[in-house]
Structure 1
Amino acid sequence: MRDDEILAAIAARVADRDYRDEVFVRRGTLTETGVWLVDAADDGTRQVEPRGSRAHLAALAAGAVDPLPELAPARVEAVEEAERVLGHALPPLLRRIYLEVANGGFGPDVLGVAGGHEDDLERTAVDIRRDRDDPPGLWAVCSWGCAIASYVDCADPGYRMWGFDPTTGRGMDAFFPEDLTLAQWFERWLDGTLNQPWLIQDGDVWRGATDAEHAAAHAEMLAWAVNEGWIASAP
Protein backbone atom coordinates (compact mmCIF):
# COMPACT_ATOMS: atom_id res chain seq x y z
CA MET A 1 0.00 0.00 0.00
CA ARG A 2 1.09 3.55 -0.68
CA ASP A 3 1.25 6.07 2.15
CA ASP A 4 -1.93 7.79 0.90
CA GLU A 5 -3.80 4.47 0.99
CA ILE A 6 -2.57 3.67 4.50
CA LEU A 7 -3.54 7.15 5.68
CA ALA A 8 -7.01 6.84 4.16
CA ALA A 9 -7.58 3.39 5.69
CA ILE A 10 -6.56 4.58 9.17
CA ALA A 11 -8.71 7.71 8.77
CA ALA A 12 -11.71 5.55 7.86
CA ARG A 13 -11.29 3.40 10.97
CA VAL A 14 -10.98 6.52 13.15
CA ALA A 15 -14.02 8.16 11.52
CA ASP A 16 -16.06 4.97 12.10
CA ARG A 17 -14.98 5.07 15.78
CA ASP A 18 -13.71 1.51 15.35
CA TYR A 19 -10.02 2.10 15.78
CA ARG A 20 -8.79 -0.04 18.69
CA ASP A 21 -7.69 -3.65 18.89
CA GLU A 22 -9.92 -4.08 21.94
CA VAL A 23 -13.58 -3.09 21.96
CA PHE A 24 -16.06 -2.40 24.76
CA VAL A 25 -19.25 -4.46 24.63
CA ARG A 26 -22.33 -4.71 26.83
CA ARG A 27 -21.90 -7.59 29.21
CA GLY A 28 -23.33 -10.84 27.96
CA THR A 29 -22.76 -14.45 26.94
CA LEU A 30 -21.76 -15.96 23.60
CA THR A 31 -23.95 -18.97 22.84
CA GLU A 32 -22.74 -22.08 21.03
CA THR A 33 -24.63 -20.87 17.95
CA GLY A 34 -22.67 -17.60 17.94
CA VAL A 35 -25.36 -15.32 19.34
CA TRP A 36 -24.54 -12.63 21.90
CA LEU A 37 -27.07 -12.71 24.75
CA VAL A 38 -26.93 -9.36 26.55
CA ASP A 39 -27.32 -9.49 30.32
CA ALA A 40 -30.83 -8.39 31.26
CA ALA A 41 -29.53 -6.24 34.12
CA ASP A 42 -27.33 -3.65 32.37
CA ASP A 43 -25.51 -1.80 35.14
CA GLY A 44 -23.42 0.21 32.71
CA THR A 45 -20.27 -1.89 33.03
CA ARG A 46 -18.62 -3.15 29.88
CA GLN A 47 -16.36 -6.06 29.04
CA VAL A 48 -13.39 -5.93 26.70
CA GLU A 49 -13.20 -8.26 23.70
CA PRO A 50 -10.54 -8.52 20.97
CA ARG A 51 -11.61 -6.82 17.74
CA GLY A 52 -12.61 -9.43 15.17
CA SER A 53 -13.17 -12.19 17.75
CA ARG A 54 -16.34 -14.27 17.70
CA ALA A 55 -17.57 -12.46 20.80
CA HIS A 56 -16.97 -9.04 19.24
CA LEU A 57 -18.69 -9.90 15.97
CA ALA A 58 -21.66 -11.48 17.76
CA ALA A 59 -21.99 -8.45 20.06
CA LEU A 60 -21.76 -6.16 17.04
CA ALA A 61 -24.60 -8.06 15.34
CA ALA A 62 -26.64 -7.70 18.52
CA GLY A 63 -26.05 -3.95 18.68
CA ALA A 64 -24.11 -4.35 21.92
CA VAL A 65 -20.84 -2.65 20.95
CA ASP A 66 -20.19 0.87 22.22
CA PRO A 67 -18.71 3.29 19.66
CA LEU A 68 -15.33 4.61 20.70
CA PRO A 69 -14.78 8.31 21.47
CA GLU A 70 -13.92 10.65 18.61
CA LEU A 71 -10.21 11.34 18.11
CA ALA A 72 -8.71 14.72 17.24
CA PRO A 73 -5.51 15.46 15.28
CA ALA A 74 -2.48 17.15 16.78
CA ARG A 75 -1.62 20.82 16.56
CA VAL A 76 1.15 21.77 14.13
CA GLU A 77 3.07 23.31 17.04
CA ALA A 78 3.00 19.98 18.91
CA VAL A 79 4.44 18.09 15.94
CA GLU A 80 7.15 20.71 15.46
CA GLU A 81 8.03 20.46 19.15
CA ALA A 82 8.32 16.67 18.79
CA GLU A 83 10.77 17.04 15.93
CA ARG A 84 12.87 19.52 17.93
CA VAL A 85 13.01 17.11 20.88
CA LEU A 86 13.90 14.19 18.60
CA GLY A 87 16.42 16.11 16.52
CA HIS A 88 15.02 14.63 13.29
CA ALA A 89 12.01 15.12 11.09
CA LEU A 90 9.28 12.58 11.75
CA PRO A 91 8.45 10.15 8.93
CA PRO A 92 6.04 11.88 6.50
CA LEU A 93 3.38 9.19 7.01
CA LEU A 94 3.46 9.50 10.80
CA ARG A 95 3.51 13.28 10.60
CA ARG A 96 0.41 13.27 8.39
CA ILE A 97 -1.37 10.83 10.71
CA TYR A 98 -0.74 13.13 13.67
CA LEU A 99 -1.85 16.26 11.80
CA GLU A 100 -4.68 14.92 9.65
CA VAL A 101 -6.15 11.95 11.51
CA ALA A 102 -5.42 11.54 15.22
CA ASN A 103 -2.91 12.47 17.90
CA GLY A 104 -2.46 8.80 18.79
CA GLY A 105 -5.01 6.66 20.58
CA PHE A 106 -5.74 4.12 17.85
CA GLY A 107 -4.35 0.69 16.99
CA PRO A 108 -2.70 -1.37 19.72
CA ASP A 109 -1.89 1.86 21.59
CA VAL A 110 -0.32 4.41 19.26
CA LEU A 111 1.23 7.25 21.23
CA GLY A 112 0.66 10.93 20.53
CA VAL A 113 2.67 14.11 20.71
CA ALA A 114 1.89 16.89 23.21
CA GLY A 115 -1.81 16.91 24.09
CA GLY A 116 -2.29 13.44 22.61
CA HIS A 117 -2.55 9.83 23.69
CA GLU A 118 -0.36 8.67 26.59
CA ASP A 119 0.96 5.31 27.75
CA ASP A 120 0.03 3.69 31.07
CA LEU A 121 2.54 5.96 32.82
CA GLU A 122 0.86 9.07 31.37
CA ARG A 123 3.67 9.77 28.89
CA THR A 124 3.34 10.89 25.30
CA ALA A 125 5.99 9.92 22.76
CA VAL A 126 7.56 13.34 23.39
CA ASP A 127 7.78 12.68 27.12
CA ILE A 128 9.48 9.32 26.50
CA ARG A 129 11.99 10.87 24.09
CA ARG A 130 12.70 13.77 26.45
CA ASP A 131 12.94 11.85 29.70
CA ARG A 132 14.76 8.67 28.71
CA ASP A 133 18.07 8.02 27.03
CA ASP A 134 16.72 6.10 24.03
CA PRO A 135 19.06 5.51 21.06
CA PRO A 136 19.42 8.51 18.72
CA GLY A 137 16.73 8.81 16.07
CA LEU A 138 14.33 6.29 17.62
CA TRP A 139 10.78 7.50 18.19
CA ALA A 140 8.21 5.62 20.30
CA VAL A 141 5.27 4.85 18.02
CA CYS A 142 3.29 2.47 20.21
CA SER A 143 3.09 1.22 23.79
CA TRP A 144 2.08 -2.44 24.24
CA GLY A 145 2.07 -2.48 28.05
CA CYS A 146 4.66 -3.87 30.49
CA ALA A 147 7.08 -1.25 29.03
CA ILE A 148 7.14 -3.10 25.67
CA ALA A 149 7.14 -0.63 22.78
CA SER A 150 7.46 -0.25 19.02
CA TYR A 151 9.81 2.42 17.68
CA VAL A 152 10.60 3.87 14.28
CA ASP A 153 14.11 4.92 13.28
CA CYS A 154 13.64 8.46 12.00
CA ALA A 155 17.32 8.65 10.97
CA ASP A 156 16.84 5.72 8.58
CA PRO A 157 15.58 6.76 5.11
CA GLY A 158 13.51 3.56 5.03
CA TYR A 159 11.99 4.25 8.48
CA ARG A 160 12.76 0.83 9.86
CA MET A 161 10.89 -0.34 12.96
CA TRP A 162 12.56 -1.39 16.19
CA GLY A 163 11.17 -3.32 19.12
CA PHE A 164 11.83 -2.77 22.81
CA ASP A 165 11.16 -5.69 25.17
CA PRO A 166 12.60 -5.02 28.63
CA THR A 167 10.70 -7.98 30.13
CA THR A 168 13.85 -9.96 29.28
CA GLY A 169 15.73 -8.08 32.03
CA ARG A 170 18.18 -6.63 29.48
CA GLY A 171 17.37 -3.02 30.30
CA MET A 172 18.34 -0.61 27.53
CA ASP A 173 19.91 -3.53 25.62
CA ALA A 174 16.35 -4.72 24.93
CA PHE A 175 16.13 -2.71 21.68
CA PHE A 176 16.27 -4.82 18.51
CA PRO A 177 15.65 -4.15 14.79
CA GLU A 178 12.56 -5.60 13.17
CA ASP A 179 12.13 -6.62 9.54
CA LEU A 180 9.43 -3.98 8.98
CA THR A 181 9.17 -0.40 7.80
CA LEU A 182 6.77 2.04 9.43
CA ALA A 183 4.38 1.74 6.46
CA GLN A 184 4.44 -2.06 6.70
CA TRP A 185 3.83 -1.85 10.45
CA PHE A 186 0.63 0.17 9.86
CA GLU A 187 -0.39 -2.17 7.04
CA ARG A 188 -0.09 -5.13 9.38
CA TRP A 189 -2.22 -3.39 11.94
CA LEU A 190 -4.88 -2.69 9.33
CA ASP A 191 -4.99 -6.31 8.13
CA GLY A 192 -4.83 -7.81 11.63
CA THR A 193 -1.40 -9.46 11.37
CA LEU A 194 0.67 -7.13 13.58
CA ASN A 195 2.58 -8.71 16.46
CA GLN A 196 3.98 -6.94 19.48
CA PRO A 197 7.79 -6.93 19.88
CA TRP A 198 9.07 -10.10 21.52
CA LEU A 199 12.77 -10.61 22.25
CA ILE A 200 13.85 -14.25 22.55
CA GLN A 201 17.19 -15.96 23.14
CA ASP A 202 18.92 -18.47 20.86
CA GLY A 203 21.91 -19.66 22.87
CA ASP A 204 23.99 -16.54 23.41
CA VAL A 205 22.09 -14.54 20.79
CA TRP A 206 19.02 -12.39 21.43
CA ARG A 207 16.69 -11.73 18.51
CA GLY A 208 13.13 -10.79 17.64
CA ALA A 209 10.61 -13.62 17.42
CA THR A 210 9.47 -14.73 13.99
CA ASP A 211 5.84 -14.70 12.84
CA ALA A 212 5.81 -18.49 13.19
CA GLU A 213 7.00 -18.25 16.80
CA HIS A 214 4.33 -15.67 17.55
CA ALA A 215 1.67 -17.93 16.01
CA ALA A 216 2.86 -20.96 17.98
CA ALA A 217 2.83 -19.02 21.26
CA HIS A 218 -0.66 -17.70 20.51
CA ALA A 219 -1.97 -21.19 19.76
CA GLU A 220 -0.45 -22.51 22.99
CA MET A 221 -2.06 -19.69 24.98
CA LEU A 222 -5.48 -20.38 23.42
CA ALA A 223 -5.20 -24.09 24.15
CA TRP A 224 -4.37 -23.33 27.77
CA ALA A 225 -7.32 -20.91 28.07
CA VAL A 226 -9.73 -23.53 26.67
CA ASN A 227 -8.30 -26.23 28.95
CA GLU A 228 -8.66 -23.97 32.00
CA GLY A 229 -12.21 -23.06 31.07
CA TRP A 230 -11.50 -19.39 30.51
CA ILE A 231 -13.02 -19.58 27.03
CA ALA A 232 -15.30 -22.20 25.47
CA SER A 233 -13.29 -22.46 22.24
CA ALA A 234 -10.68 -20.61 20.24
CA PRO A 235 -11.92 -17.34 18.70
Structure 2
Amino acid sequence: MTDDDVFAAVRRLADAGLYLDRIRGLDGVDLDGDEHDLEEWPEGVFRRIYRRGTPRYETALANGWLAVLPPLRPAPPELVEELEEKARRRFPPLLRRLYLEIGNGGFGPGNGLISLTSRQTAVRRDRSSFGTDRPRIARVLCYWPAGGTTELDLLDGQIWGTTAYRTPTGVPQSFRQGLTLAAWLSRWLDCRLLPPLLVQDGSRWRPGTEAEEREAWQERERQRAEDYYHPPVYDEEST
Protein backbone atom coordinates (compact mmCIF):
# COMPACT_ATOMS: atom_id res chain seq x y z
CA MET A 1 0.00 0.00 0.00
CA THR A 2 1.18 3.54 -0.74
CA ASP A 3 1.18 6.29 1.87
CA ASP A 4 -2.02 7.66 0.31
CA ASP A 5 -3.69 4.22 0.42
CA VAL A 6 -2.76 3.78 4.07
CA PHE A 7 -3.98 7.25 5.00
CA ALA A 8 -7.31 6.74 3.23
CA ALA A 9 -7.89 3.38 4.94
CA VAL A 10 -7.08 4.78 8.39
CA ARG A 11 -9.36 7.74 7.66
CA ARG A 12 -12.25 5.37 6.88
CA LEU A 13 -11.83 3.58 10.22
CA ALA A 14 -11.61 6.91 12.04
CA ASP A 15 -14.75 8.24 10.35
CA ALA A 16 -16.59 5.03 11.27
CA GLY A 17 -15.49 5.25 14.92
CA LEU A 18 -13.71 1.88 14.65
CA TYR A 19 -10.11 3.07 14.89
CA LEU A 20 -8.76 0.78 17.64
CA ASP A 21 -8.10 -2.96 17.84
CA ARG A 22 -10.52 -3.48 20.73
CA ILE A 23 -14.07 -2.12 20.48
CA ARG A 24 -16.75 -2.37 23.15
CA GLY A 25 -20.07 -3.93 22.29
CA LEU A 26 -23.52 -2.74 23.31
CA ASP A 27 -24.62 -3.36 26.89
CA GLY A 28 -26.19 -6.78 27.40
CA VAL A 29 -25.68 -7.94 23.79
CA ASP A 30 -23.86 -11.13 22.64
CA LEU A 31 -22.74 -12.24 26.09
CA ASP A 32 -22.62 -16.02 25.54
CA GLY A 33 -19.22 -17.75 25.55
CA ASP A 34 -15.68 -16.40 26.01
CA GLU A 35 -16.36 -14.83 29.38
CA HIS A 36 -12.78 -13.53 29.65
CA ASP A 37 -13.65 -11.00 26.91
CA LEU A 38 -16.55 -9.54 28.90
CA GLU A 39 -16.39 -6.24 30.76
CA GLU A 40 -18.56 -5.34 33.75
CA TRP A 41 -19.13 -1.65 34.43
CA PRO A 42 -21.01 -0.40 36.33
CA GLU A 43 -21.76 -3.37 38.55
CA GLY A 44 -24.19 -5.77 36.94
CA VAL A 45 -23.89 -4.28 33.43
CA PHE A 46 -21.93 -6.49 31.01
CA ARG A 47 -20.65 -5.89 27.52
CA ARG A 48 -18.34 -7.78 25.19
CA ILE A 49 -14.95 -6.48 24.06
CA TYR A 50 -14.53 -7.30 20.37
CA ARG A 51 -11.15 -7.71 18.68
CA ARG A 52 -10.83 -6.35 15.19
CA GLY A 53 -10.18 -9.03 12.59
CA THR A 54 -11.98 -11.86 14.40
CA PRO A 55 -15.14 -13.58 13.11
CA ARG A 56 -17.02 -12.40 16.19
CA TYR A 57 -16.06 -8.80 15.43
CA GLU A 58 -17.31 -9.14 11.85
CA THR A 59 -20.61 -10.56 13.12
CA ALA A 60 -20.99 -7.69 15.57
CA LEU A 61 -20.18 -5.16 12.85
CA ALA A 62 -22.77 -6.65 10.51
CA ASN A 63 -25.43 -6.64 13.24
CA GLY A 64 -24.74 -3.15 14.59
CA TRP A 65 -23.57 -4.40 18.00
CA LEU A 66 -20.42 -2.25 18.18
CA ALA A 67 -20.38 0.89 20.33
CA VAL A 68 -18.55 3.29 18.02
CA LEU A 69 -15.74 5.37 19.48
CA PRO A 70 -15.94 9.18 19.81
CA PRO A 71 -14.66 11.48 17.05
CA LEU A 72 -10.94 12.24 17.03
CA ARG A 73 -9.44 15.72 17.14
CA PRO A 74 -6.41 16.51 14.96
CA ALA A 75 -3.23 17.86 16.51
CA PRO A 76 -2.54 21.60 16.17
CA PRO A 77 0.09 22.31 13.47
CA GLU A 78 2.20 24.30 15.92
CA LEU A 79 2.47 21.25 18.18
CA VAL A 80 3.83 19.09 15.37
CA GLU A 81 6.27 21.83 14.38
CA GLU A 82 7.44 22.22 17.98
CA LEU A 83 8.29 18.53 18.27
CA GLU A 84 10.00 18.52 14.89
CA GLU A 85 12.12 21.47 15.98
CA LYS A 86 13.15 19.67 19.16
CA ALA A 87 14.07 16.58 17.15
CA ARG A 88 15.77 18.66 14.44
CA ARG A 89 14.04 16.32 12.04
CA ARG A 90 10.69 16.50 10.21
CA PHE A 91 8.19 13.72 10.78
CA PRO A 92 7.60 11.46 7.76
CA PRO A 93 4.80 12.88 5.56
CA LEU A 94 2.42 10.03 6.42
CA LEU A 95 2.87 10.51 10.16
CA ARG A 96 2.34 14.27 9.80
CA ARG A 97 -0.92 13.74 7.91
CA LEU A 98 -2.20 11.23 10.46
CA TYR A 99 -1.68 13.66 13.33
CA LEU A 100 -2.73 16.83 11.48
CA GLU A 101 -5.74 15.46 9.58
CA ILE A 102 -7.06 12.49 11.59
CA GLY A 103 -6.27 12.81 15.28
CA ASN A 104 -3.76 13.66 17.97
CA GLY A 105 -3.15 10.02 18.80
CA GLY A 106 -5.57 7.52 20.29
CA PHE A 107 -6.06 5.49 17.10
CA GLY A 108 -4.19 2.70 15.36
CA PRO A 109 -2.15 -0.27 16.61
CA GLY A 110 -1.72 -1.38 20.21
CA ASN A 111 -3.17 1.17 22.62
CA GLY A 112 -3.25 3.67 19.75
CA LEU A 113 -0.65 6.17 18.57
CA ILE A 114 0.41 8.23 21.55
CA SER A 115 -0.74 11.83 21.79
CA LEU A 116 1.78 14.52 20.91
CA THR A 117 0.97 16.12 24.26
CA SER A 118 1.94 12.98 26.19
CA ARG A 119 5.03 13.13 28.38
CA GLN A 120 6.11 9.92 26.65
CA THR A 121 6.14 11.55 23.22
CA ALA A 122 9.62 13.03 23.54
CA VAL A 123 12.08 12.25 20.77
CA ARG A 124 15.32 10.78 22.05
CA ARG A 125 18.75 10.35 20.52
CA ASP A 126 20.22 6.97 21.28
CA ARG A 127 22.45 4.20 20.00
CA SER A 128 20.92 0.94 18.85
CA SER A 129 21.79 -2.15 20.84
CA PHE A 130 20.76 -4.74 18.24
CA GLY A 131 23.06 -5.40 15.34
CA THR A 132 24.27 -1.86 14.64
CA ASP A 133 26.10 0.93 16.41
CA ARG A 134 24.80 3.93 14.51
CA PRO A 135 23.07 6.87 16.20
CA ARG A 136 19.32 7.00 15.87
CA ILE A 137 16.53 9.46 16.63
CA ALA A 138 13.64 7.45 18.06
CA ARG A 139 10.06 8.45 18.71
CA VAL A 140 7.60 6.12 20.41
CA LEU A 141 4.59 5.41 18.22
CA CYS A 142 2.55 3.16 20.49
CA TYR A 143 2.50 0.91 23.52
CA TRP A 144 1.01 -2.58 23.42
CA PRO A 145 -1.65 -3.75 25.93
CA ALA A 146 0.49 -6.62 27.27
CA GLY A 147 3.70 -4.55 27.27
CA GLY A 148 6.27 -3.67 24.65
CA THR A 149 6.57 -0.61 22.43
CA THR A 150 6.90 0.33 18.79
CA GLU A 151 9.16 3.23 17.82
CA LEU A 152 9.95 5.11 14.63
CA ASP A 153 13.51 6.04 13.72
CA LEU A 154 13.25 9.57 12.36
CA LEU A 155 16.65 9.24 10.69
CA ASP A 156 15.61 6.61 8.16
CA GLY A 157 11.89 6.02 8.74
CA GLN A 158 12.35 2.45 9.99
CA ILE A 159 10.20 0.78 12.64
CA TRP A 160 11.81 -0.53 15.84
CA GLY A 161 10.19 -2.84 18.39
CA THR A 162 10.72 -3.48 22.07
CA THR A 163 9.45 -6.90 23.06
CA ALA A 164 7.32 -7.59 26.12
CA TYR A 165 8.07 -11.30 25.97
CA ARG A 166 10.66 -12.61 28.39
CA THR A 167 14.24 -12.80 27.13
CA PRO A 168 17.43 -13.78 28.98
CA THR A 169 19.41 -11.15 30.86
CA GLY A 170 21.81 -9.38 28.54
CA VAL A 171 19.75 -9.85 25.38
CA PRO A 172 18.79 -6.39 24.07
CA GLN A 173 15.02 -6.04 23.79
CA SER A 174 15.00 -3.20 21.23
CA PHE A 175 15.43 -4.21 17.59
CA ARG A 176 14.84 -3.08 14.04
CA GLN A 177 11.85 -4.77 12.39
CA GLY A 178 12.58 -4.05 8.73
CA LEU A 179 9.33 -2.12 8.20
CA THR A 180 8.50 1.40 7.09
CA LEU A 181 5.64 3.29 8.73
CA ALA A 182 3.38 2.55 5.74
CA ALA A 183 4.22 -1.17 5.82
CA TRP A 184 3.66 -1.32 9.58
CA LEU A 185 0.26 0.35 9.30
CA SER A 186 -0.63 -1.82 6.29
CA ARG A 187 -0.20 -4.90 8.48
CA TRP A 188 -2.42 -3.29 11.09
CA LEU A 189 -5.12 -2.48 8.55
CA ASP A 190 -5.01 -6.11 7.39
CA CYS A 191 -5.32 -7.27 11.04
CA ARG A 192 -1.88 -8.92 10.82
CA LEU A 193 0.08 -6.66 13.19
CA LEU A 194 1.00 -8.10 16.59
CA PRO A 195 3.37 -7.08 19.42
CA PRO A 196 7.10 -7.19 18.59
CA LEU A 197 8.82 -10.51 19.27
CA LEU A 198 12.43 -11.69 19.58
CA VAL A 199 13.21 -15.30 18.66
CA GLN A 200 16.32 -17.32 19.47
CA ASP A 201 17.84 -18.73 16.29
CA GLY A 202 20.85 -20.84 17.23
CA SER A 203 23.25 -18.60 19.12
CA ARG A 204 21.65 -15.32 18.08
CA TRP A 205 18.37 -13.51 18.60
CA ARG A 206 16.38 -12.07 15.71
CA PRO A 207 13.03 -10.33 15.12
CA GLY A 208 10.16 -12.81 14.86
CA THR A 209 8.35 -13.49 11.61
CA GLU A 210 4.64 -12.79 11.27
CA ALA A 211 3.91 -16.48 11.86
CA GLU A 212 6.08 -16.54 14.99
CA GLU A 213 4.46 -13.36 16.31
CA ARG A 214 1.02 -14.91 15.74
CA GLU A 215 1.97 -18.13 17.52
CA ALA A 216 3.37 -16.25 20.53
CA TRP A 217 0.28 -14.05 20.70
CA GLN A 218 -2.10 -17.01 20.47
CA GLU A 219 -0.22 -18.79 23.26
CA ARG A 220 -0.48 -15.69 25.44
CA GLU A 221 -4.21 -15.49 24.75
CA ARG A 222 -4.67 -19.18 25.60
CA GLN A 223 -2.83 -18.60 28.86
CA ARG A 224 -4.97 -15.56 29.61
CA ALA A 225 -8.15 -17.59 29.10
CA GLU A 226 -6.75 -20.45 31.20
CA ASP A 227 -5.93 -18.06 34.04
CA TYR A 228 -9.46 -16.64 33.84
CA TYR A 229 -11.27 -19.96 33.98
CA HIS A 230 -8.79 -21.67 36.32
CA PRO A 231 -7.22 -19.03 38.58
CA PRO A 232 -4.29 -20.14 40.75
CA VAL A 233 -5.20 -21.51 44.18
CA TYR A 234 -3.01 -20.38 47.05
CA ASP A 235 -2.48 -22.20 50.32
CA GLU A 236 -3.95 -19.98 53.03
CA GLU A 237 -1.15 -20.96 55.42
CA SER A 238 1.47 -19.70 52.96
CA THR A 239 -0.17 -16.29 52.51
Query: TM-score scaled to structure 1, two decimals?
Result: 0.75
Partner of 2:121: 125
Conserved in 2, the CA contact under 8 Å of 1:86 and 1:139? Answer: no
CA gap of 1:217–1:68, structure 2 versus 1, over 3 A, is same
1:103-153 Cα distance to aligned partner (Å, 9 max, x none)? 111122211212xxx5xxxx4423xx36x9676311111111454111111
Distance 2:126 2:179 in 1: 23
Counterparts of 2:127 and 2:86 in 1: how far apart (Å)?
12
- 1:42-84: per-residue Cα shift (whole Å, max 9, x none)? 9555332212323333333443321101111101111012112
Percentage of pairs with the same residue: 36
Q: CA RMSD in A?
A: 3.2
- Structure 1 alignment gaps of length 5 or more: 33-41, 231-235
In structure 2, what residue type is equivalent to 1:24? R
Q: 1:192 corresponds to which letter in structure 2?
A: C
Kindly indicate whether the alpha-carbon contact (under 8 Å) linking 2:196 and 2:213 is maintained by their aligned counterparts in 1.
Answer: no
Q: Which position in structure 2 is the counterpart of 1:208? A: 207
The C-alpha deviation readout for 1:87-113, integer Å capped at 9, x for no partner, is: 311111101111111111112221121
Structure 2 distance, partners of 1:146, 1:85, is 30
Residues 56 and 84 from structure 1, CA distance in 2 versus in 1: closer, same or farther, beyond 3 angstroms? same
Partner of 1:35: none
SS of residue paired to 1:137? strand
Q: 2:142 corresponds to which residue?
A: 142
State the secondary structure of the residue aligned to 1:18: coil
Normalized against structure 2, the TM-score is what? 0.74
Query: Per-residue CA shift, 1:13-55, capped at 9, x if unaligned?
Result: 10111111001013444669xxxxxxxxx95553322123233
Structure 1 match to 2:40: none
Equivalent pairs, count: 211
What's the secondary structure of 1:180's corresponding residue? strand
In structure 2, stretches of 5+ residues that fail to align are 34-42, 129-135, 230-239
Determine which of 137, 160, 164 is the counterpart of 2:158. Answer: 160
- 2:85 and 2:146 map into 1 onto residues whose CA distance is 28
- Corresponding letter in the other structure for 2:20: R
For residues 61-76 of structure 1, the aligned pairs below 5 Å read 61-76=62-77
Match of residue 55 from structure 1: 56
Give the CA deviation at 1:173.
Answer: 3.1
Q: Give, in angstroms, the shift of residue 174 of structure 1.
A: 1.7
Corresponding position of 2:176: 177
Q: SS at 1:69's partner residue?
A: coil
User: SS of the counterpart of 1:173?
Assistant: coil
Deviation at 1:204, TM superposition (A): 3.6
- 1:2 paired with 2:21, answer no
Shift of 1:154: 1.0
Of residues 106, 112, 131 in structure 1, which corresponds to 2:115?
112
